[in-house]
Amino acid sequence: MTTANGFGTGRILYGGDYNPEQWPEEVWAEDMELLRQAEINTVTLNVFSWATLQPADDVYDFARLDRIVQTVADAGMSIVLATSTAALPPWMSLKHPDVNRVDAQGRRMRHGARHNACISSPTYRRYSVALAERLAERYAEVPSLVAWHVSNEYGGFCWCDLCAQAFRDWLRTRYGTVEAVNDAWNSAFWSHTYHSFEEIFPPNELGDAMAGGKAVLPGSALDYQRFYGSSVLDSFREEKAAIRRFDTARAVTTNMMGTFPDYDYFAWSDDLDVVSWDSYPAHDTTPAQIALRHDLMRAVGRQRPFMLMEQTPSRQNWQPYNSLKRPGQMRQQSWQAVARGADTVQFFQLRQSRAGCEKFHGAVIGTDGTGSTRTFREVAELGAELARVSPQVVGSRVEHGSVAVVFDWPSRWAIGYSAGPSRSLEYVREVERWYAELHRRNVPVDVVPATGPFDGYAAVVAPCLYMLPEGLAEGLRRYVADGGRLLLTPMTGLVDEHDRLHLGQAPVPLRDLAGVWVEETDALPPSRTVPLAFGDAASAGDDGAHGTVLCDVVRADDGTQVLARYAGEYYAGSPALTFRPSGSGGGVLYSASFPDEVGTRLTVDALLDGTGVVGHDLPAGVELSRRVREDGTALTFLVNTTGQSQAVRLELSGQDLLTGAAFEGAGMLEPYGVAVVMGR
């Protein structure tokens, strides 16, 4: 089966969303010529065409799509074919109102926008499957087809009566009895005790959803989120099964969105033949934030290569400030993606929309319709480079990380639903805090789910692993017993899978392993920090390190080492960072606060001390990552994410595949420059 690697083309797929239905057919030939000049070799077709493909209940019309497919196939393009089920046709919304979502305030939506279907609607499910099936039947034999793209950027929720009924059925299956639901949700709170499933409703803003996204009964909110996400996944599975009836070979995917909150992407790992995702950094997104999201998406695909399904070649239109990518920056971000595991570089979009809310979105071919723009030139240069170099990259895998960073959607949701302890607490930012420090050191990192696997990592960082049912705790205990180093933070191990607090001394499931008791937790308003003293108490506060957001007041057990103490507040002198050794070099570090940059650096020093993990000392903003080919040859990617030239010194000798020049321990990187060095 041709799936994750290379799509059978032997080179990186280079191209993107192509929507020729939005402009006259005479232009298509010009498009093909320009795309050929840019060395574009793939197009994603048919993402939003349902209304024309199916103009009425039993009427299908593929004539225009046939012509598009023929045009691009004749031009030698590979095709990623979308199923077009991400935006409803207007007639369907009118005739079958059950396809329209009901919002969190109970309002039934009319037709409009996109990503607008109720996932519980039998009409939507029937018609989306029928369309996917017809498309597969018609186009599965097209030789240039390389992958299927189901729907588009699944997202959002519906709160209609059908969803309420489906939610009750889901609860019946999960819990069996309404008493078990009451127990899980602790529904005695504020007189919620249910006497039948019919009394249960989706927790929307007419019910138990509180202002600011908090929940009255977080157990119920979490279950609704799980229920809805699993229904979305079921819908994906149904479309995929329909495709599989005619095409057993091509990869089937749907495009994800990095740290997007709505659904637990790890639940999709088994169902996606290849992970694909859309990377849209804003003007102030840091390279580490982008890198984290690539690594997360690679993790969803179990560390296999992924597709960079969309990025803009120049600017977005939907951010508050849609800055242009600087000269060279699109190339740099493309190589950054490849360096972290992408086997495709795809754009949204290949030609600019003339009208509609994306008319100001960047595209490879602008409204001038020529190949004369800076954007086009840069796309064409990258196209030539990828055509030359990518056969050497395809088939390689990103090297195994030395450190794993845990990303856990359920903990993130549950922290979000919780009223308290602090509105300043943001799960993703806490993951980013630690990831950024590892990224700064160029330590190879893999993101992993809370279920692991953790083997092969010298250290595991698990920020705010708030929801810790016994099974998850057991995996971490085993990792530490086997000699692993585990870093924990405030908001760890506080609740079970229903957001019920564990009873006992926190962090209850890891209490003994961590060798600390978190007795109480102080929340700091954004304007306040607490100084931290690392090492010798005599130098208290000298490092300039501070705790932010939350400060746990902890008691360390005998045998637990205190590596830093608070140097302020009534808890001055009490432990701020501890280490509980567990033999064979392993143990648990407990960071009692969320340290600022200095504190994070010192904490990571302590985490890696004695593990043998060292990063690479490169100029700030230069990122190093490695892919390893099947024959064992290493490809070292040096990516300069800054607009300044950077001199790099590194124990590495080989050939830079991009320039052909030798790299012998040192080299210069241009602003946003990249080197791909083959060698050791």
Q: Which of 23, 246, 280, 517 binds ligand GAL (CB under 6 A)?
A: 280
Residue showing the smallest CB distance to ligand GAL in the complex: 348
Q: What is the dihedral of CA 326, 328, 329, 332, to 10 degrees?
A: -170
Q: How far is the CB of 348 from ligand GAL (least distance, A)?
A: 4
- Quick one: which of 493, 428, 432, 488 has its CA closest to 460? 488
Q: Which residue's CB is nearer to ligand GAL, number 5 or number 322?
A: 322
Are 365 and 31 a contacting pair, CB within 8 Å? yes
DSSP string, 603-672: HHHHHHTTT--------TTEEEEEEE-TTS-EEEEEEE-SSS-EEEEEEEEEEETTT--EEEEEEEE-TT
Shortest reach from residue 337's CB to ligand GAL, in Å: 16
Nearest CB to ligand GAL, comparing residues 68 and 556? 68
Nearer to ligand GAL, 358 or 512 (CB): 358
Sign of CA dihedral 587, 590, 595, 598: negative
CA–CA distance, 30 with 234 (Å, rounded to integer):
41
Single residue of 310, 432, 437, 522 touching ligand GAL by CB under 6 A: 310
**CB 309 within 8 Å of CB 277:** yes
Helix (H, G, I), strand (E, B) or coil at 314: coil
Closest distance of CB 356 from ligand GAL, Å: 10
The backbone torsions φ and ψ at residue 182, rounded to the nearest 5 degrees and listed phi first, read -55, -40
Assess whether 30 carries a catalytic annotation: no
Single residue of 101, 361, 441, 565 touching ligand GAL by CB under 6 A: 361
Interface mask (CB under 6 A) for ligand GAL, residues 63-92, using x and -?
------------------------------
Q: Which residues 6+ apart lie within 8 Å of 453 measured at CB?
A: none
Output 159 or 268, the one with its CB closest to ligand GAL: 268
Q: How far is the CB of 378 from ligand GAL (least distance, A)?
A: 18
Q: At residue 161, what is the residue type? A: D
Nearer to ligand GAL, 310 or 408 (CB): 310
- Find the catalytic residue in 133, 153, 432, 437: 153
Contact set for ligand GAL, span 429-448 (CB under 6 A): none
Least Cβ distance, residue 279 to ligand GAL (angstroms): 10
**Is residue 545 classed exposed, middle or buried when 0-12, 13-18 and 19+ CB atoms within 10 A define those classes?**
buried
- Name the E strands within 232-289: 251-253, 255-256, 276-278
- Nearer to ligand GAL by Cβ, of 309 and 443: the residue is 309
Question: Under 8 Å CB-to-CB from 517, ≥6 apart: which residues?
Answer: 505, 506, 511, 554, 555, 557
Q: Which residues, 6 or more positions from 600, have their beta carbon under 8 angstroms from its beta carbon?
A: 433, 434, 436, 437
Site size toward ligand GAL (CB under 6 A) is 9
* Residue 200 DSSP symbol: -
How far out from the chain centre does Cα 7 lie?
A: 22
Closest approach, Cβ 206 to ligand GAL, in A, equals 30
Residues 6+ apart with CB under 8 A from 100: 88, 93, 108, 109, 110, 111, 116, 117, 118
State residue 533 phi and psi, 5-degree precision: -115, 110
Which of 153/343 has CB closer to ligand GAL? Answer: 153
Closest to ligand GAL by CB, 120 vs 316, is 316
Q: How far apart are CA 457 and CA 468, in angstroms?
A: 21
> Which 373-432 residues touch ligand GAL, going by CB under 6 A?
none
Q: Which residue among 44, 128, 152, 204 contacts ligand GAL (CB under 6 A)? A: 152
The residues, any chain, with a CB within 8 Å of residue 173's CB and separated by 6 or more, are none
CB of 657 to ligand GAL, least distance (A): 30
Q: Minimum distance between the CB of residue 190 and ligand GAL, rounded to whole angstroms? A: 39
Sites for ligand GAL among residues 498-517 (CB under 6 A): none
Listed in sequence order, the residues at least 6 apart from 540 whose beta carbon sits closer than 8 Å to its beta carbon are 531, 533, 565, 567
Select 350 or 563, whichever has its Cβ closest to ligand GAL: 350
Query: By C-beta, is 310 or 623 nearer to ligand GAL?
Result: 310
CA 409 to chain centre: 10
Which of residues 268 and 454 has its CB atom nearest to ligand GAL in the complex? 268
Of 39, 239, 310, 385, catalytic: 310
Nearest approach, Cβ of 233 to ligand GAL (angstroms)?
18
End-to-end CA distance of the chain: 32
Closest separation between CB of residue 47 and ligand GAL, Å? 6
β pairing state of 78-82 and 42-45: parallel
Pairing of the two strands 575-583 and 586-591 = antiparallel
CB of 280 to ligand GAL, least distance (A): 6
Taking alpha carbons only, the member of 402, 429, 464 closest to residue 596 is 429
316 contributes a contact to ligand GAL by CB under 6 A: yes
> For residues 438 and 433, what is the distance between their CA atoms, to the nearest angstrom?
9
Residues 220-279 interacting with ligand GAL (rule: CB under 6 A) = 278
Q: Tell me, what DSSP letter sits at residue 198?
A: G
Three-state SS sequence of 400-455: CCCEEEECCHHHHHHHHHCCCCCCCCCHHHHHHHHHHHHHHCCCCEEEECCCCCCC
Does 310 qualify as catalytic in the annotation?
yes
* Residue 236 or 348 having the CB closest to ligand GAL: 348
**From 31, 39, 133, 153, residue interacting with ligand GAL (rule: CB under 6 A):** 153
CB 488 within 8 A of CB 454: no
Residue 361: CB minimum distance to ligand GAL, A: 5
Measure the CA–CA gap between 312 and 280, rounded to whole angstroms.
Answer: 7
Catalytic positions are 153, 310
Residues within the interface to ligand GAL (CB under 6 A): 152-153, 278, 280, 310, 316, 348, 358, 361
